[in-house]
Structure 1
Amino acid sequence: MEYAPIKTTAAWEAREVGDRWLRILAAEEQDALAAMLDVVKASGKPMLALTRHDVPLGAFAPVIRELRDQLEDGIGFMTLRGVPSDRFSVEDNRLLFWALATHLGVARPQGKASQLMSDVRADGGTYRAVGGRGYNTNAELDYHADGTDWVGLYCLQVARSGGLSRLASTAAIHNEILKREPALLNRLYQPFPYNRQNEEAADEAPWYWAPVFSLAEGQFASRYIRNHVRSGQTRDDVPRLEPEGHRALDIIQDLAETDRFRFDMVLERGDMQWVNNHVLIHSRTQFEDHDDPKLKRHLLRLWLSVPNARPLCEGLRDAYKAVETNTVRGGFQGLRITAEIVAYQARAAQALGMRDTPYRVPAEG
């Protein structure tokens, strides 16, 4: 099959990004976030009971609109700088992050514990292990996308050194591969075997097929999680990846690491970074932490299914559980889905005008 270049604002090279990635909050916008948090706390509602109707944005509403526009129709990412995190405790920052996200999408589970918000810090994980994930290590990470429409990171503490955030456009990389090695591009549109990293639900297979590049209704999407393909090759029941498949995965990583395609940024305290996983891949350099536990690098992470995100191809259904637009999809279901999570998802989907895809609560015992 012959493929054409992807024409989208998200097909950028690093020199073209300029200052579009950064939105510095004005004083009145910072105050609006603090006022929002006060209202949410006064309501007494737990996080999972909140919907966007409980969260008044006030002067912050235009920022939310800018964020949506940039992630879906712009360069695919934006960092909000100046969130007044120093005014709040860790738990209040957690609540603020969650409350703000109620206006953006439905939070999706991120692993075996079915957690809807992850603490990103070095907690002794091993990235290259069969069940390894990057968020609980200090390791340098391969370029990858997370398993939902958007990923958000909220920086509460920075490392003593390192931990640089890196992004690259898969749409731009797609176009470069088309010029250089169209045979490898064709391979990337075919399925690859992805390991579920020992985090599959009881009714899920331990691995699945998914293409790296795909088109649906003329819109481009990518799913590149190299570490999950690599770890799958250690399983006896996963088909061996042929040399062309390895080369196709290599060329994405190799291009993403070049100055031409790699966009680096330093996340500061109070930064909130949002990324569209369908058009970008991201990485992080290795970091060295502080000795004081209170100063160790700490970010909060949300995976969101968002309203009116692009449709996905049928080949991604096993990965996302739904491929239709305006439908709750994505995430790693894990083993601890509860009735509370199911009820939260239904409320959040209804408040955002999305179709729900209900989980089945596992039987106890």
Structure 2
Amino acid sequence: MTGGGHQTTPGQTLTDGFDAVRVAVAGPLRDHLTSAGESTADAGAARAELAALVGEHLDDGPGVLVLTGLPADREGGERAVLRATRLLGEPLPQNREGTLVREVRDRGMSISQRGRTRYSDSRFGGDLHTDGAEAPLPAPDVFTLFCVRQSVHGGALQCLHVREVERALDPEVLATLRAPFRFDRRGDQEPGQDPTTAKPVLFSQRGRPAITYLRSYIEHGHDHPGVPALTTGQRAALDALDALIASSPAVLTGKLREGELALFDNLSLLHGRTEFQDEPDHTRLLLRTWVRRHSDERS
């Protein structure tokens, strides 16, 4: 595997945890992702190339793949992220309005706020989680991030694989995490629907161990009127998971560079970021999609 030869952004070192999963796109896959207008590249060859990389890095590897060598502009980034998504599967709406490509940027919010605020609306770090934690199962199989602009300070991504969770936690804790919790829907439910959804933290999807988590969404979910409070055992299990997240040496940390497109196994990876700070003339902007993989790639 080779890197993309990009210059680092100010304040960023060249070597980070994503270096081992960086792949420079070339041939039909690059042509398909970058061509302006209607792509004339061999879509079948591009799909096969991407599927092989996803199999190596997401299914059988650390759960993350970073494609380098793409233009770092907003329009080209949206085109690339949507085309990669459709090669891999079906783009999923990320809210009730049907948004397929969501901007991940600081909107001056915090997940401690109620309402429709999401983690992706803030600049704060920590809180390792999975995407779609506010939604009923099935969870998105994959999420993508395209880096249009990176923060000068902070904004590194952190990932922990579900296999490390299952390996490190006690059987009693794992059993509790496999029973349902109530997750706050963040106001994204349709009128008349329940404001929470019941689902376990640890479950199976596509025949593989999977995880869905964001602690504050669970805390808020169990605060709703008529929803039972978290039991002592449930709190202890969540505390044990949080302690593992905070201390595990298996957490992978890396920072996307401008023009890079990352694919993450959303069923296997808890992810978060370090806190970042925008500059007045340079604001961090990532583009995100959620993906339901093609059925022949989900067995």
Using the size of structure 2 for normalisation, the TM-score is 0.82
Residue of structure 2 in register with 1:276 after alignment = 265
Which of 125, 142, 145 does residue 127 from structure 2 map onto? 142
Alpha-carbon spacing, 1:305–1:217, altered in 2? closer, same or farther (3 Å): closer
1:110-154 Cα deviation digits (max 9, x unpaired): 124331110011112222112331111111141111121111000
- Code of the aligned partner of 1:205: D
Residue of structure 1 in register with 2:105 after alignment = 121
Which of 235, 245, 260 does residue 224 from structure 2 map onto? 235
1:255-296 Cα deviation digits (max 9, x unpaired): 12225121100111011111111111100111000111xx21
1:151-189 Cα deviation digits (max 9, x unpaired): 100000011200110000112211111xxx221111111
Partner Cα separation in structure 1 for residue 280 and residue 296 of structure 2: 42
Residue of structure 2 in register with 1:90 after alignment = 74
Residue of structure 2 in register with 1:21 after alignment = 21
**Which structure has the larger Rg over C-alpha atoms?**
1
Alpha-carbon spacing, 1:299–1:191, altered in 2? closer, same or farther (3 Å): same
CA contact (8 A) 2:211 2:268 kept: yes
Length, aligned pairs only: 274
- Code of the aligned partner of 1:144: H
Residue of structure 1 in register with 2:38 after alignment = 39
Give the strand-richer structure, 1 or 2.
2
- Code of the aligned partner of 2:154: G
Alpha-carbon spacing, 1:113–1:19, altered in 2? closer, same or farther (3 Å): same
Residue of structure 1 in register with 2:235 after alignment = 246
2:102 is equivalent to residue 110 of structure 1: no
Residue of structure 2 in register with 1:78 after alignment = 65
Partner Cα separation in structure 2 for residue 28 and residue 215 of structure 1: 34
Which of 196, 205, 214 does residue 225 from structure 1 map onto? 214
Residue of structure 2 in register with 1:174 after alignment = 166
Q: Superposition pairs for residues 1-365 of structure 1, below 5 Å? A: 20-26=20-26, 30-31=30-31, 33-35=33-35, 37-40=36-39, 56-57=42-43, 60-61=46-47, 63-69=49-55, 70-85=57-72, 89-131=73-115, 132-147=117-132, 148-177=140-169, 181-202=170-191, 204-215=193-204, 219-292=208-281, 295-308=282-295
Partner Cα separation in structure 2 for residue 166 and residue 130 of structure 1: 25
- Code of the aligned partner of 1:39: E
Deviation at 1:98, TM superposition (A): 1.1
Please list every run of 5 or more consecutive structure 1 residues that lacks an aligned counterpart in the other structure: 1-16, 41-53, 311-324, 327-365
- Code of the aligned partner of 1:213: L
Deviation at 1:71, TM superposition (A): 1.8
1:17-47 Cα deviation digits (max 9, x unpaired): 8955222335886455333x3434xxxxxxx
Deviation at 1:240, TM superposition (A): 0.4
Using the size of structure 1 for normalisation, the TM-score is 0.68
Partner Cα separation in structure 1 for residue 229 and residue 217 of structure 2: 14
CA RMSD of aligned residues (A): 2.6
Residue of structure 2 in register with 1:348 after alignment = none
Please list every run of 5 or more consecutive structure 2 residues that lacks an aligned counterpart in the other structure: 1-16, 133-139
SS in 1 for 2:181: strand
CA contact (8 A) 2:142 2:293 kept: yes
CA contact (8 A) 1:173 1:261 kept: no
- Code of the aligned partner of 1:140: G
CA contact (8 A) 1:20 1:78 kept: no
Alpha-carbon spacing, 1:278–1:125, altered in 2? closer, same or farther (3 Å): same
- Code of the aligned partner of 2:185: R
Q: Once the two structures are aligned, what percentage of the paired residues are identical?
A: 26
- Code of the aligned partner of 1:143: L
Partner Cα separation in structure 1 for residue 296 and residue 225 of structure 2: 36
Give the helix-richer structure, 1 or 2.
1
21-30 vs 217-226, which deviates more?
Answer: 21-30
